[in-house]
Amino acid sequence: MSTPPSSNLPDATQVDRPDFAPELLAEVVALPALPGVYRYFDAEGGVLYVGKARNLKKRVSSYFQKNHGATRIGHMVSRIVRMETTVVRSEAEALLLENNLIKTLNPKFNILFRDDKSYPYLKLTAISSPKDADGRGPSPQQYPRVAYYRGAVDKKHHYFGPYPSAWAVKDTILLLQKVFRLRTCEDTVFHNRTRPCLLFQIKRCTGPCVGEISAERYAQDTANAERFLRGQGQEILTELESRMLAHAERLEFEQAAEVRNQIRAISRVLHQQTMEVDADKDADILAVKVHGGKACVNLAMVRGGRHLGDRAYFPSHVDSAVDLASLEADGPVRARSVEALVLEAFVAQHYIDVAPPPLLLVSHAVDKALVLALSEQAGLRIQAVHNPREQRRIWLEMAQKNADLQLARLLAEEGSQQARTRALAEALDLPQADLDQLHIECFDISHTGGEFTQASCVVFRQHRMQSADYKRYNIEGITPGDDYAAMRQVLTRRYSRIAEARRESGGETEPSARMPDLVLVDGGKGQVSMARAVFEELGLDLGLIVGVEKGEGRKVGLEELVFADGREKVYLGSDSAALMLVAQIRDEAHRFAITGMRAKRDKVRVGSSKLEEIPGVGPKKRASLLRRFGGVRGVASASAEDLATVDGISRALAEEIYRALH
């Protein structure tokens, strides 16, 4: 129906669209004119879109007032069957809630930045009271340790970062070893040293484990290292120069020479690695590039005046989200570029989990309300600078160049990957109507001498590996080392539910009943025959099964494909794009299986590391425990009374061991 031009807010007649359920339209009409967040859902319960609004009634009604035709907006709106809204107190609160929901719900039409691994940090352990009961030598709790760390932080320790990569953390640790000679060894190693290690010999550690440095002097080095990481290198140099002169005046030339060497090391680092930062100690530099329907945001980090490196992010749903943003935009905001929308989405989603620095240098202007919301959330004043000058401009140009290069690389790789997908579909006569949805699953088995057997299933779709859909299966109840039985078990577990759903639905109409277009198994005739038997029992199509048989000498590029439906073996050729894709998927399945198997094995074997971390349990006592109870599992299952029966294990220590292992 037509909308009266004089009306600002829609009434019941203005959203009376016959192609939507009356309940949904009534819900739209009843919305308040308050700030909030809304979510649209499709018939399957999937989240289509998450949006924020200064005025929920006005914003949401704009979707239902007219027919959007065959546009992306129209496609999304036509699928809406349900809506949820949340009223908030301010637009800033709505913005934060919107992006929390985007990261949680993964809507299909929002610009979405996938969660990468958590950022790594540099960890400096805190000084604590000694826990050693036997009083043997220095206590590791008195000498902080510098280490690489990833995970939830413990407030009692000090963390620096985040860093863009593991390499950046390890490079900084090496720097701290050279300049301040802080220890990196585990507490158990420290506790059991009787003479200096190699790091002491090459002047990368001051040897606190064997009393080569006092706790007071080590604490001073630790404090200087913390200050250095916070960008106070020049202040440290000034203090060290004063110390050096004081030693020289007291004729303590050996100590003066040590301080001089430290001054040289710090000066060299500051000269080589510190950027011309002036007052900018901590900053993030954000540059965006959009081309060919793809986008890249390059994030460069400066912490303590040092450039730590950068990382590229590639969002999804860029085109759809831009169309929807243009519908929602009010007044002059309509002129916002695609780049600005992508950058705002990144800033809003990224800094939900990562503490922002006080300065953001951005290639495109971002909404002031977004910066204000981030400031309120972080509890500090954040400044977003667009079109910076002098040194800041150089930083931004570097980040922009990296964004251009990373996006060009992605487009080149995706073009190559799509060509591989098409080549495989042609070679194996797979569906080619929608190659983006070509679904391949690959299985592999891994074990160590028959123990810790694990099977992996990796998924290839949309021209890339879908790591979120990977699965590992613990294989039990088979003869150790029987790979055929392991393959039978994993295929049965993977596809029995799908087969049951197909029987109940009478076909593949239900999502739960859809089979992949190709099932790869790493192996030749034996593994394929086992897969064939499973599929026959489940009533599934044998034509889906393909085995990847290693060629002569197990050389890469000589693999042959073995079929379960009776077709002759096929050799695609060492330079075949199709074989390259098969090898890529097969190798990923092997990698995923072997890392899972090693993790399972280490969980049992390296369980002894918990034993090593217990104060008072040295190598001899640990060996006695393992010998008495037959391994870590035996020690863990023993009671405190049983542990106390071992020579050298007191009742108090037995209870400490029991608590640590449980």
Q: What is the pLDDT of residues 134-166, one digit of tens each?
A: 455 678 888 999 988 887 777 788 888 778 888
What is the per-residue pLDDT for 394? 86
pLDDT band at 7 (very low <50, low <70, confident <90, very high): very low
Asked if the model's pLDDT at residue 301 lies above 50, the reply is yes
Q: How far apart are CA 113 and CA 116, in angstroms?
A: 9
Burial 628-655 (b: 16+ CB within 10 A, else e): bbeebeebbebebebbbebeebeeebbe
Of 400, 364, 411, the closest CA to residue 384 belongs to 364
Over residues 560-577, mean pLDDT: 85
Reported as a pLDDT band with limits 50, 70 and 90, residue 349 is: confident
From CA 391, how far away is CA 270, in angstroms rounded?
Answer: 17
Task: Tell me which H or E stretch contains 169.
Answer: helix 166-179
Question: By CB neighbour count within 10 A (0-12 exposed, 13-18 middle, 19+ buried), where does 482 fall?
Answer: middle
Give the residue ranges of DSSP H helices in 379-471: 390-427
Taking Cα atoms as reference points, which of 597, 592, 589 lies closest to residue 442? 589
Spatial distance between the Cα atoms of 529 and 547, rounded to a whole number of angstroms: 9
pLDDT of residue 1: 37
- Residue 363 above 90 pLDDT? yes
CA distance 277 to 301: 12
Does the predicted TM-score (pTM) go above 0.75?
Answer: no
Backbone torsions φ then ψ of 458, nearest 5 degrees: -110, 155
pLDDT winner (highest mean) among 220-224, 256-260, 296-300 = 296-300
Q: CB 467: neighbour CB atoms within 10 A?
A: 11
In DSSP terms, 160 is beta-bridged to: 122
- On whether the CB atoms of residues 620 and 648 are closer than 8 A, the answer is yes
* pLDDT tier at 71, thresholds 50, 70, 90: low
Is residue 255 predicted with pLDDT exceeding 70?
yes
Average pLDDT, the chain: 81
Dihedral of alpha carbons 322, 323, 329, 332, sign: positive
Q: Look at residue 517 in the predicted model and tell me its pLDDT.
A: 92
Whether residue 249 has pLDDT greater than 60: yes
**What is the rounded average pLDDT of the residues 600-620?**
65
pLDDT at 298 over 90: yes
**Which residue reads 């669209």 in tokens?**
17
For residues 661 and 233, what is the distance between their CA atoms, to the nearest angstrom? 43
Roughly how many angstroms between the first and final C-alpha of the chain, as a whole number?
68
pLDDT value for 303: 81
* Residue 497 or 328, more confident: 497
Render pLDDT for 422-447 as a digit per residue (tens, 0 to 9): 889 888 888 877 888 899 999 999 88
Residues whose CB is less than 8 angstroms from the CB of residue 61 and which lie 6 or more positions away in sequence, other chains included? 9, 10, 14, 15, 28, 29, 31
CA 241 to chain centre: 43
610 falls in which pLDDT band (50, 70, 90)? low
Poorest-confidence range of 17-31, 336-350, 643-657? 17-31
Burial environment of residue 627 by CB neighbours within 10 A (0 to 12, 13 to 18, 19 or more): exposed
Q: Name all domains of the chain by residue range, CATH numbers in brackets.
A: 12-105 (3.40.1440.10), 123-273 (no CATH), 283-408 (3.30.420), 435-594 (3.30.420.340), 606-661 (1.10.150.20)
Q: Label the pairing between strands 464-465 and 471-474.
A: unpaired
Q: What is the pLDDT of residues 158-214, one digit of tens each?
A: 888 778 888 888 888 888 888 888 999 888 788 888 888 889 988 889 899 988 888
- What φ, ψ does residue 238 adopt, rounded to 5°? -60, -45
Confidence of residue 508 (pLDDT cuts 50, 70, 90): low
